[in-house]
Structure 1
Amino acid sequence: MSEKVRLQVIIVGAGLSGIAAAISTALSGHTVQVIEQASELAEVGAGLQITPNASRLLKQWQLRDSLWEAAAEPTKLTVHRYSGEILAHDDAFDKGIRTKYNAPFIDLHRVDLQQALFERAQELGVTFHLGERIALVDFETTTVYSETGHQFTGDLIVAADGLWSRCREALVGHKDEPLPTGDLAYRIVLSADQIQDPELKALVENPEVHFWIGPGAHAVGYSVRGGKMYNIVLLVPDNLPPGVSRQAGSVDEMKELFVGWDPILNRFLDCVKSGRIDKWKLMHHGEMENWVNDRSNLVFIGDACHPMLPYLAQGANSSLEDGAVLGLLLGRMSNKSQLPRILRLYESLRKSRGESIVRETFKQRHDFHMVDGEEQVKRDQIFRSQLGQEIKGAFPSRWTCPEVQPWLYGYDANKEVEKAVAEHAHLFVEAAKNRPFSCVIL
C-alpha cells in the first residue's frame, strides 16, 4: 500500500474487539491509535472459550508462544442434566474439532488473551492512550475529544467501546442504555491450591468442558492456565435492582441456588469459601439499523453493535472476527475514495452474522433453561436418543450440533474477505489519476 492511502484510524476501546481491529488494521499498513478509558489494561479475570473461528486468527496474528502454553484444550465436552445425569458427551472433542476446522478449541484466561493482543499490537506500532474517557465525537472533523481535553483526529473512528458505547450515543444523539435480559452471571475462578478433592483436581488438571442445565439456570465449568485454574460461570435469574449492572454477591446465596444439583458441581462451589463473588447483570441491545454512519467515518464492532449472551461463548469470538474482517478489508484499499463502500461491505459481511449469533444465544438459553415438564422431557429424549452416536439434525446443545457448530466454528475471516473482494472487485479498483474531466464510478 502506498503512503498516500495510509489511513489514520482511531479506535475507541481497548477490549478484545478494539485490539483485534488494531492488529488487523496495522497489519494492513494503516496508522492506528487506540483510546481507552481504563488507566491500565488489567481487566477483571475470568475464562474465555476461544472457538476455531477465532483461534485461527490468533495463530495468523502470531501472538506470543506463552499464550498457547497458558491455554487449556478440552479433550471432552459433556452436558449434564442438573441432577448430574449425562445427556450428551463427546469424548474426543479436541480431535474432532481440529479435524473438522483445522484449528483448536481452547480455554483461556481473559487477561492472558488481552495482554497477548496488547503486546502484539504494540509490536506493530499501535499507539495506546489509556485513561481517556470520551466526552464528544465530532463527525464533521472525524475527531474524538476526551474528558481530559485531548483530541484525536483521523480518517476513521472505530467504535469498539462495548455495551455502554459512548460512540453509539453520539451517533443516535441520546442515551442508549442496554436492556436487561433477565439473567445474571456469577463468575468464579478457582486456583488449584483451593481444590483438595482428588476427583475435582483431576477434572481441573485434565481439561474438559462440563455443562449442567436446569430449570431457569445453567452452569459451565472448564480449565484455564493449562489446567492450573478452573473457571465456573453460573447463569441464573436476574435479581439485581433496576439500574444496577454489577453487585457483590453472597457465597451462601449463590450456593442456595444450586441445592439439589449435581454433587460434583456443588463440591466445586464448596471450594469457594469466602471473598467477593460478583454478580453481573447480562444485558443486550436491540439491533442497530446501521453499523456505519452517513459520513462513512464511523464504524461499529463488537459489543458496541451486537452484545450477546454468553451461552455460545461467541461474544469474544465474534468480536475478534469483526476486527479481523475490518482490518483485512481496509488493507485492500488503493484510494481513500473507496472507504465508504469498503465500510458498507464490512457491514454487509458482519451485521447479519453478528445479529444471527445473538438470536441463536437466546435459543440456547431456552433449551438449557427449560423448567421440568413436557417440553423438557421431549428435549431430554432428543439428547438421550443420540448419546454415544453421531449426532444428526438439530440438537438442543449447539456446542456439538451438526447444524449450528459448523456455521459458528467454520467461519474463516480471511476466506470470507477474499471471497467478498473477488465478488466486489469494482470496489477495489484504484481511481483514475489526473483525469479532471472523467468520472470513475467505483
Structure 2
Amino acid sequence: MSAESSSTPLQTVHPISFLIIGGGIAGLACALALRRVGHHALVLERHDMKSARGDSGIRLPPNLTKILFHWGLRSALKEKALISHTILFATYESGDYLGSQVWSQDVLKETRGVFMVLKHAELYDILYEAATRAGAQIRHNAEVVEIDASEREVTLASGETVSGDVLVGADGEYGPSRAVVIGKQVRGSPTGLAMYDTLVPGKYVPPHLFKLREQNGVYVAFGDGRAILAYPVGNKEEIAFQFYGPDDGGDGKFGDAPSMPVIDIASKVDPRLQPIVKNARKATRITIRDHNDLEDWVEDDGRLVLIGEAAHPFPPGTIQATAMAVEDGAVLAKLFSHLSEERQIESFLYAFQELRQPRTRSVRASEFGNAFFMAMPACEQSRQRDEGMRMLGEKGLNVLEGGDGEASGAWDEIRTVFGYDCEDEADDWWVQWGLLRERALGRQADGEEDEDGDPAAASSAFDFSAFTVQVSEIATEAVSEHDYDE
C-alpha cells in the first residue's frame, strides 16, 4: 500500500456525531479522520485561533508522516515542512562535536514515512484546512467548563450546552476531560525538569551550525542537567529552540504566553550560542511532570473517551508526543468506519483503548528516558555517553547505532516505533475480532445456540470492555521504490 492515497476510505453505514473537546493537533486530526469515514465531527476549542495555532517548532517522525501522507496531505506538508535526515550531537557547555546520526534512505523507505520539521502553526493550518474542507465544524472561543458523560453533553463558559453521540476528550493533561475520567484533577509529579520553547531568527545561527540549516538537521546538545534541541523551520528563516533545564518550581503549559527571557535560563551554554540566546524571543515555560498510566481512557457511565495528552501526557518537545495523538485519532476513526448499529459504540471505544494503551505506554516510557538521557546530570554515566558517541563519531559511524548498523538497538526502535502502522493495526483488529463478534451476534439473532446450548453465551463471550488485544508493533508491509518520495 502506498503511504499516500487519494482513494476514499471505508465509509460507515451508521453515521453518528462526535463532539471533540479540544481543538489542538489531536482534536483536528481526530475530526479529519472521523470525517474521512463519514461521521459528523464538531470541535470545541477554548482559545481563539491565533492562540490555538501556537508559536513553536514541531518534529514529525515517520510513523506520523505516513498517516498524513495516506490522508492526502503530502503536497501540503512539502510546501511547509523540511525533510530532515540528520541529527548533530554536541556538548552543551563547550559545544564539542560528538558525532551525528544520518537515517539512511533504505531505513526510511521501510517505515513508509519521512522525518519532517516545521512550525506548530503550519501543521495546525494544514489540519484545520483539511478538516473543514472535509466537513468538520470547528468552534474557537468555546471553553468547556462542565462535562456530563452520562448525558453525552457539555456546558460552555457561555452557558450553552452542546451534545453528541460520543464525546472525545482531546483537551490535554490539564483539561476537564481527563479529570472526569479519573474522577478528580491530577497534576502529576514534578520531575525536576522544565522545557522552554521559543523561535529564533535564522540570521543569528552561528557559523559552526550552518550545517544545521544546510541539511535541515536537528541539533542536540547534552549538558549537566540541561539540554538543547534546535532545528530550522519556516523555510529555514527561523530556528526552533527548545531548552531543557532545572525546574524552578513554577508552573507552565503549552498555550501560555511566552514569559521567560532565554538569556536568563540558558546559563553556562556554549559561548558560540550566545547570539541565539540573546536574540531569541521570550520562551514559553512548560513544566515536565510525570503521570501514572491510566487504567481507563473510557468513562464508566457514558461515552467519553480520551485521546492524545488527555490520555497519555508525554514530556513536552519529544518527537512522539504529537505522533501518538494523531495515531489515536486515526485508530478511533478506523474502528468506527465499521459502525453499523448503535450497540457497537461501547465495544469500539473499549477496543480503541485496548489497541492504543500498550503502544502509547511503551513509547511514552521511551520518550521520558530520552529526555533525561539528554539532560543527565554530570556523572560517570553521562561521561560514558559522551565518550561512546565521540568514538563512533570519529570513525564516521552513526552514533545511535553502537557501530552495529542494522543489528543495533536503534534499528530495532525504528522497526517497532517508526515502522508501526496504526491504521493497519485497527484493520487487523476488525478482521480478527470485530467480524468474529458480529458473526457471533448474527448467529444469536438467528437462534443459533453455542456449544453448550446457550444462545446468550455467544454474545457475552465477546465483551470488549474486558478484552485484551495483543498488538504487534512490527511493520511488515514492504514498499516499492515508487511509493517513496524524498
Give the TM-score taking structure 2 as reference length: 0.81
2:358 is matched with: 352
The one-letter amino acid of 1:110's match is H
State the partner residue of 1:377.
383
Shift of residue 385, structure 1, vs aligned partner: 4.7
Superposed CA offset, 1:192-235 (max 9, x none): 3x437555556335411110011111101111123222111111
Note if 1:426 corresponds to 2:432: no
Q: Does 1:253 align with 2:299?
A: no
Q: Which residue of 2 aligns with 1:15?
A: 24
Identity %: 23
What is aligned with 1:338?
A: 344
Helix, strand or coil at the partner of 1:227: coil
What is the DSSP-based 3-state SS (H/G/I as helix, E as strand, rest coil) of the residue aligned with 2:89? strand
Give 1:110 deviation, angstroms: 0.2
- Selected match of 1:172 from 177, 182, 188: 182
Name the SS for the 1:402 alignment partner: helix
* Counterpart amino acid of residue 132 in structure 1: A
Match of 1:298 among 293, 296, 304: 304
CA contact under 8 A between 2:198 and 2:282: conserved in structure 1?
A: no
SS at match of 1:403: helix
> Residue by residue, what CA displacement relative to the aligned partner does 1:251-298 show, whole Å, maximum 9, x if unpaired?
43134x233x3x4433432443xx533322223422212011224511
Partner letter of residue 268 of structure 1? I
Check the 8 A contact 1:222/1:230 in 2, yes or no. yes
Provide closer, same or farther for how the CA distance between residues 394 and 305 of structure 1 changes in structure 2, counting only shifts above 3 A: farther
Q: Distance in 2 between matches of 1:35 and 1:214?
A: 41
- CA RMSD after TM alignment: 2.9
Instruction: Give unpaired runs (5+ residues) of structure 2.
Output: 1-9, 448-454, 463-486
Change (3 A) 1:4 1:270: closer
Shift of 1:94: 6.2
**Counterpart Cα distance in 2 of 1:375 and 1:264:** 26
Spell out, residue by residue over 1:323-348, the C-alpha distance to the aligned partner (whole angstroms, 9 max, x if none).
11111111122222112121111111
The separation in 2 between residues aligned to 1:401 and 1:64, in whole angstroms, is 26
User: Once the 2 structures are TM-superposed, how far is the Cα of residue 58 of structure 1 from its aligned partner?
Assistant: 1.1
- Of 118, 128, 131, the residue aligned with 2:138 is 128
Query: Using the alignment, how far apart are the partners of 1:281 and 1:434 within structure 2?
Result: 53
**Structure 1 residues 416 and 2: alpha-carbon distance in aligned structure 2, compared to 1, 3 A threshold:** closer
Mark the CA change 1:402 to 1:347 in structure 2 (over 3 Å): closer, same or farther. same
Structure 1 residue 71 corresponds to structure 2 residue 81 = yes
Within the alignment, does 1:417 sit opposite 2:413 as a pair? no
Aligned residue for 1:277? 283
Uncovered stretches (5+) of structure 1, i.e. residues with no partner:
none
Look up the match of 1:102.
112
Preserved CA contact (<8 Å) 2:58 2:317: no
Q: Say whether 1:233 aligns with 2:239.
A: no
1:262-273 counterparts in 2 under 5 A? 263-272=271-280
Q: Which amino acid aligns with 1:332?
A: H
Change (3 A) 1:210 1:252: closer
Q: Cα gap change, 1:73/1:264 in structure 2, threshold over 3 Å: closer, same or farther?
A: farther
